[in-house]
Amino acid sequence: MSGFPGGDIMRLIIEDDFKKLSKRAAKIIANAIIKKPDLVLGLATGSTPLGTYKELIKMYNKENLDFSQVVTFNLDEYYNISQDDKNSYNYYMHENLFKHINIKEENINIPKGNVKEIKDYCKEYDKKIKKCGGIDLQLLGIGNNGHIGFNEPDKELNLRTHLTKLTKSTIEANARFFNSIKEVPDRAITMGLSSIMNSKKILLLASGKNKTNIIEELLTKDKATTEIPASALLMHSNLTVILDEDAACNYKKRMKKGEKDEIIN
């Protein structure tokens, strides 16, 4: 028996540090692109994927990793922010990945944070994912509160792409990217749980001590709850979780106390 929920279907990898985690994640993405050059790739922002994006850029430069047919869909975007705003996820993605590789602009999809007809726009975003054949590989980070995308803990979770209110804890966590907490948008557009869960493969990354509590909770509770949106991932049939030692710390302590695990190094 494995020591974590979903253990039969989840692959858990623990790397020494952020650099190794990033290399491992980039390798998984690169292999998927090599296998399917027109991969539909779901992408995330925040601190966690930054190392992965750096590694992918290296592979583009040194190993001719070809993004020319890759189609991307980003998880989320702040609401009421223009695409060229330096705090937008559109800006982040171009700065940290897209402008350094040979992806075609028309193959990049990031929710627009400043549209008027938001409901129609969200529907169109989901439709476009479907039209492209669905997401082949979705890269995810996890919030300290267990959010994925901007699906925040709640009594109910939205299934489709939607406009959502950010929780106080997310606003506080993201304030580090802004001049002051007052500047952090309080709403965002995000892919919903079903849009994420419909991805053929999911790659969840967590790095650092500040993620160790949520990772422990996620991997040791044998339950799915809307209070930890990431727990839905445990029901996915093709989930890979990559942690660094800091993020895995509490979980490993629990495992040492007796439960057997299936950690792959």
Rounded to an integer, what distance in angstroms lies between the CA atom of residue 128 and that of residue 164? 20
Segment lying near ligand F6R (by CB under 6 A), choices 41-49, 60-68, 111-119, 236-244: 41-49
What letter represents residue 254's amino acid? Answer: R
Q: Is the dihedral of CA 63, 68, 74, 77 positive or negative?
A: positive
- The radius of gyration of the chain's CA atoms, rounded to the nearest angstrom, is 18
In the window 135-174, what residues touch ligand F6R (CB under 6 A)? Answer: 141-143, 147-149
Taking the complex as a whole, the smallest distance from the CB of residue 218 to ligand F6R amounts, in Å, to 13
204 binds ligand F6R (CB under 6 A): no
75 binds ligand F6R (CB under 6 A): yes
Token pair for residue 151?
């699906």
Q: Which of 5, 6, 46, 51 binds ligand F6R (CB under 6 A)?
A: 46
111 binds ligand F6R (CB under 6 A): no
In 51-88, which positions are buried (b, 16+ CB within 10 angstroms) versus exposed (e)? bbbbbbbebbeeeebebeebbbbbbbbbbebeeeeebb
Q: Which is nearer to ligand F6R, 157 or 255 (CB)?
A: 157
Q: Which of 22, 45, 107, 231 binds ligand F6R (CB under 6 A)?
A: 45
Q: Which of 2, 19, 20, 47 binds ligand F6R (CB under 6 A)?
A: 47
**Residues annotated as part of the active site:** 76, 145, 147, 152
48 binds ligand F6R (CB under 6 A): yes
Backbone φ and ψ of 77, nearest 5°? -155, 145
Residue 180: CB atoms within 10 A of its CB come to 7
Taking the complex as a whole, the smallest distance from the CB of residue 230 to ligand F6R amounts, in Å, to 9
Residues that bind ligand F6R (CB under 6 A): 44-48, 75-76, 141-143, 147-149
